[in-house]
Chain A
Amino acid sequence: MARPASAASAGVLLPAFTLWWREIVRFYRQTTRVIGVLASPLVFWLVIGSGFGTSFRSGGGPGQQHYLDYFYPGALIMIVLFTSIFTMMSVIEDRKEGFLLSVLVAPVPRSAIVLGKVLGGTTLSAIQGLIFLIFAPFAGVHLAPLQVLLVAAVVFLVSFSLTALGFAIAWPMDSSQAFHGIVNLFLIPLWLLSGALFPMTGASGWIRALMHLNPLTYGVDALRSLLYPGAPASFTLSSSIATLVLFSLVMFGLAFLMANRRSKRPPA
Chain B
Amino acid sequence: MVSKVPAFADAEPEVVRPSVAAVISVQSLVHRYEDRTALNAVSFDVRPAELFGLLGPNGSGKTTLFRILSTLMIPTAGRAIVMGYDAVQAPAQVRRQIGVVFQAPSVDPKLTAYENLWHQGHLYGLRGAGLKQRVGEILARVGLADRAKERVETFSGGMQRRIELAKGLLHHPGVLLLDEPTTGLDPGARRDLWQYLQMLRDEEHVSVLVTTHLMEEAERCDRLAILNEGNLVALGTPTELKSEIGGDVILLDAAHEAGSLAERVRVRFHVETTVLENQVRIERKEGHRFITDVVEAFPGEIQAVSVSKPALEDVFIHRTGHKFWSENQDEQSESAPKRR
Contacts and interface: CB of A to CB of B under 8 A. Distances in A.
Contacts of A106: 95, 120, 123-124
24 contacts: A1-B204, A7-B124, A7-B125, A7-B172, A7-B173, A15-B123, A26-B111, A29-B110, A30-B110, A98-B104, A99-B106, A99-B107, A101-B100, A102-B102, A102-B123, A104-B71, A105-B98, A106-B95, A107-B124, A108-B95, A264-B75, A264-B76, A267-B72, A267-B73
Contacts of B76: 264
Nearest to B119: A18
Contacts of B108: 22, 26, 97, 99
B70 interface: yes
Contacts of A60: none
Instruction: Output the residue of B70, B98, B106, B167 with the most chain A CB within 10 A.
Output: B106
Contacts of A4: 130
A263 B124 contact: no
Main secondary structure of the interface of A (DSSP, over half): loop
Given A25-B115, A29-B110, A266-B67, A104 B123 contact: no
A10 B96 CA distance: 10
Contact of A98 (B31, B73, B105): B105
Contact of A102 (B75, B106, B118, B130): B106
Instruction: Output the residue of B71, B92, B171 with the most chain A CB within 10 A.
Output: B171
A262 B102 CA distance: 19
B105 A7 contact: no
Contacts of B72: 101, 104-105, 266-267
Contacts of B173: 7
A109 B91 CA distance: 11
Q: Which 10 A-B pairs have the closest CB atoms?
A: A10-B125, A18-B122, A98-B106, A102-B106, A106-B123, A7-B171, A8-B125, A107-B95, A7-B124, A98-B104
Nearest to A265: B73
Interface of A: 1, 3-11, 14-15, 17-19, 21-22, 25-26, 29-30, 97-99, 101-109, 262-268
Contacts of B123: 10, 15, 18, 102-103, 106-108
Interface in B90-146: 91-92, 95-96, 98, 100, 102, 104-111, 115, 118-127, 130-131, 133-134
Given A14-B127, A101-B104, A108-B95, 4 more contacts: A5-B131, A105-B70, A266-B73, A267-B73
A240 B89 CA distance: 43
A154 B133 CA distance: 42
A22 B172 contact: no
Interface string B167-195: 10011110000000000000000000000
B305 interface: no
B74 interface: yes
A175 to B, nearest CB: 16
Contacts of B100: 101-102, 105
Contacts of A19: 119
A236 B124 CA distance: 45
A233 B75 CA distance: 55
Contacts of A30: 110
A6 B74 contact: no
Given A4-B130, A107-B96, A25 B111 contact: yes
A268 B106 CA distance: 12
A63 to B, nearest CB: 42
Nearest to A11: B125
Nearest to A5: B134
A118 to B, nearest CB: 17
A17 B92 CA distance: 19
A11 B100 CA distance: 20
B70 A10 contact: no
Contacts of B204: 1
A3 B72 CA distance: 26
B102 A101 contact: yes
B340 to A, nearest CB: 37
Nearest to B118: A18
B134 to A, nearest CB: 4
A5 B75 CA distance: 32
B124 A10 contact: yes
A89 to B, nearest CB: 15
B120 to A, nearest CB: 7
A108 B120 CA distance: 11
A154 B72 CA distance: 38
Nearest to A1: B204
A260 to B, nearest CB: 12
B96 A102 contact: no
Contacts of A101: 72, 100, 102, 104, 106
B74 A263 contact: yes
A8 B108 CA distance: 24
